[in-house]
């Protein structure tokens, strides 16, 4: 309408069109869009490279080479003097590896008296066979004297060779698997007793110096304990603090100061929280070293600022009309907060909490100082016993010399990424489902 009126004002003489830089502005917009797309594709390419390198190195960790052997639980080897009824320790210290060796010798058709050839079998089966067979006997002592098929883990180097991770073309002396062992490996593969099976051990075993018997069991439990502790402590403290700051506290210099400090704390390097944990929780309060409980406390301190910031934002996003309506109908301030504001802010609070938890799950640095970057083989039954965490296990495996740990490390990263993705997706779903727009 304005255009028309302007034209009429200008009269009959058509004015030359004003140059409003339309072409230039469209070009600028096109350029900007291209920059944006470039930025996103650079990000996506790096993500793809990272995922590819992790998955291509790590997917093999989910399979483990085992040899299925008919083990003869020979009484003559396990309990030569027949004392197990009176002295149970006989069965603990019995020569279990011999059972596995005998079974393998029979399977490969080696003459049992040919000690030289049998010696070459060293490093074929995992040393974990000892505990594996001991557990079989402990679970069912009646197995002694009978023969049973057991899947024995192959040693890590053989596992790497089986998966093609060791270059068999280099000189025999320079690699950890001998030519004879490769021949045996092929022999067992053809008759089907040596095969890759799903690696449940990766999820159930504790730390070990042998790649084939090391797993993330202790780390998963430790991380679980810490997440529960962080959730139980950080969520109520964080929510209470933010409700007070947002709804009750008088706005003034003091609250400003607190706010600045909270924002600063959120950006403090996580190792600082580890130092704090070491000096306060372990040295001063005398809590045990390496325990998941102390780890949980340290991660709580680290997560609190994130949760407070997210919660305050969520509370502030609830429109003032809700507050006025509640107060107008005679609700007390506390009723207003707990019955009206908090339920509406809950999706935002939960999203912030889950993102804070996800960050805490991936944290190693603060755990280093409180002794959780450690070799822990036993399952922690309570949060007060030594444990590790998922990222710590990745770090520990990255430091190992054996080839087989490389794939385990990448496998562990895949597991950690799956956990993180699950948490972040939960956060997104919660937000989508419950968030209300005003």
Partner 1 sequence: MTKFFLTASAAAIALAASAGYAAARDQIQVAGSSTVLPYAKIVAENFGETFTNFKTPVVESGGSGAGIKEFCKGVGENTIDIANSSRKIKDDEVKSCVDAGVKDIQEVKIGYDGIVFATDLNGPDWALVPEDVYKALAAQIVVDGKLVNNPNTKWNQVNPNLPDWDIAAYIPGEKHGTREVFEEKLLAEGCKSSGALEAIKAAGQDDKAAAKTCVAVRKDGKAVDIDGDYTETLARIASNKTGVGVFGLSFYENNADKLKVATVEGIVPSTETIAKGEYPVSRPLYFYVKKAHLGVVPGLKEYVDFFLDDQMVGPESPLADYGLVAAPEGERKEQREAFNAGKTM
* 130 binding partner 1? (CB under 8 A): yes
User: Which of 98, 163, 176, 323 lies at the binding interface for partner 1 (CB under 8 A)?
Assistant: 176
CB of 128 to partner 1, least distance (A): 9
- Are 126 and 153 spatial neighbours (Cβ–Cβ below 8 Å)? yes
Of residues 396 and 430, the one with the C-beta less far from partner 1? 396
| 31 vs 39: CA distance, rounded Å | 12
Residue 349's SS3 state is helix
Report whether 218 contacts 376 (CB < 8 A). yes
Find the shortest distance in angstroms from Cβ 354 to partner 1. Answer: 15
User: Does the protein bind partner 1 through residue 208 (CB under 8 A)?
Assistant: yes
Q: Is 201 left (phi over 0), alpha (psi -120 to 50) or beta?
A: alpha
Applying CB under 8 A, the site for partner 1 has a residue count of 54
Of the candidates 327, 331, 365, 384, which one interacts with partner 1 according to CB under 8 A?
A: 384
Question: By C-beta, is 68 or 302 nearer to partner 1?
Answer: 302
User: How far does CA 63 lie from the centroid of its chain?
Assistant: 18
Q: With beta carbons less than 8 A apart as the criterion, state whether 376 and 221 touch.
A: no
**Cβ of residue 231: shortest distance to partner 1, in angstroms?**
8
Residue (of 130, 131, 105) closest to 118 by Cα position: 105
For position 92 contacting partner 1 by CB under 8 A, the verdict is yes
* Cβ at position 139, least distance to partner 1 in Å: 14
User: Out of 60, 222, 293, 336, which residue is the one contacting partner 1 (CB under 8 A)?
Assistant: 293
Residues 6+ apart with CB under 8 A from 233: 296, 297, 300
Q: Does residue 120 touch partner 1 according to CB under 8 A?
A: no
List C-alpha distances in Å: 18 to 13, 15, 418: 14, 8, 58
Give the footprint of partner 1 on residues 211-230 (CB under 8 A): 229
| Site residues for partner 1 per CB under 8 A | 92-93, 127, 130-131, 166-167, 170, 173-176, 206-210, 229, 232-233, 235-237, 239, 282-283, 285-290, 293, 297, 338, 342, 368, 371, 373-378, 384-386, 396, 398-403
């Amino acid at each position: 309408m304005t255009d028309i009126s302007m034209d009429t004002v200008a009269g009959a003489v058509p004015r030359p069109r004003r140059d409003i830089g339309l072409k230039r502005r469209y070009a600028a917009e096109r350029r900007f869009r291209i920059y944006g797309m470039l930025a996103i594709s650079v990000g996506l390419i790096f993500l793809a490279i990272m995922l590819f390198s992790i998955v291509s190195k790590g997917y093999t960790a989910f399979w483990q080479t085992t040899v299925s052997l008919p083990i003869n639980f020979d009484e003559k080897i396990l309990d030569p003097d027949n004392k197990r009824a009176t002295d149970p320790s006989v069965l603990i210290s019995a020569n279990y590896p011999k059972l596995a060796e005998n079974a393998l010798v029979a399977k490969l058709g080696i003459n049992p008296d040919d000690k030289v050839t049998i010696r070459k079998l060293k490093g074929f089966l995992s040393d974990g066979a000892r505990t594996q067979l001991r557990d079989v006997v402990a679970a069912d002592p009646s197995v002694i004297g009978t023969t049973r098929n057991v899947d024995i883990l192959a040693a890590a180097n053989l596992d790497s060779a089986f998966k093609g991770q060791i270059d068999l073309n280099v000189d025999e002396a320079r690699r950890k698997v001998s030519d004879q062992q490769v021949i045996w490996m092929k022999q067992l593969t053809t008759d089907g007793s040596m095969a890759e099976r799903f690696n449940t051990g990766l999820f159930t075993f504790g730390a070990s110096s042998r790649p084939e018997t090391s797993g993330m069991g202790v780390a998963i439990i430790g991380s679980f304990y810490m997440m529960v502790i962080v959730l139980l402590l950080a969520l109520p403290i964080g929510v209470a603090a933010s409700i007070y700051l947002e709804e009750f506290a008088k706005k003034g210099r003091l609250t400003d100061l607190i706010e600045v400090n909270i924002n600063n704390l959120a950006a403090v390097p996580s190792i600082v929280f580890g130092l704090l944990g070491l000096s306060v929780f372990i040295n001063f309060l005398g809590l045990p070293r390496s325990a998941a409980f102390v780890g949980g406390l340290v991660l709580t301190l680290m997560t609190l600022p994130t949760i407070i910031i997210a919660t305050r934002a969520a509370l502030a996003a609830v429109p003032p009309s809700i507050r006025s309506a509640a107060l107008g109908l005679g609700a007390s301030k506390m009723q207003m907060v707990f019955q009206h504001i908090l339920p509406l802010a809950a999706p935002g609070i939960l999203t912030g909490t889950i993102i804070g938890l996800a960050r805490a799950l991936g944290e190693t640095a603060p755990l280093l100082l409180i002794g959780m970057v450690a070799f822990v083989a036993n399952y922690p039954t309570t949060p007060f016993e030594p444990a590790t965490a998922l990222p710590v296990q990745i770090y520990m495996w990255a430091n190992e010399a054996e080839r087989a740990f490389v794939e385990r490390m990448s496998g562990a990263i895949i597991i950690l990424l799956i956990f993180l993705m699950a948490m972040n997706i939960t956060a997104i779903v919660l937000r989508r489902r419950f968030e209300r727009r005003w």
